[in-house]
Amino acid sequence: MAVVVNAAAELMMAKNWITGPLARAIAQQSAEWLDANYPFIFDALLQELDAGHSIDDIRRILRRTFGNDLRDAFVLRILQAAEHMKGEMQS
């Protein structure tokens, strides 16, 4: 996964999906954290992205599921992971 993760980070930087090394590292870490700690959510997120859903679509799904302010840190991790995974799919 490390090779794919690094290639995805480079692609996202080139396309300005996630700018700057810190933002890319956070998105990568969030994807790895989600995969390690919540593999079912990671797999479901991957399925949503494979189906062509955008980051905004994912944000709407999370808002409907968690509400506007419930579990903000968890929702942020999922969105960061989605940004990273979307970049991986484009490579």
Q: Structural domain of residue 48, as residue ranges?
A: 2-90
In tens, the pLDDT along 3-59 reads 334 444 444 444 445 567 788 888 889 999 999 999 999 999 999 999 999 988 998
List the one residue out of 25, 27, 24, 35 whose CA is nearest residue 1: 35
Give the predicted TM-score (pTM) of the model: 0.67
Token pair listed for 35: 């995969």
What is the distance between the alpha carbons of residues 91 and 88, in angstroms, rounded to a whole number? 5
Q: Which pLDDT value is given to residue 4?
A: 39
When divided into structural domains, the chain yields a total of: 1
Query: What are the C-alpha distances in Å from 88 to residues 1, 8, 9, 68, 70?
Result: 10, 4, 8, 28, 28
- Please give the average per-residue pLDDT across 56-72, as a whole number: 81
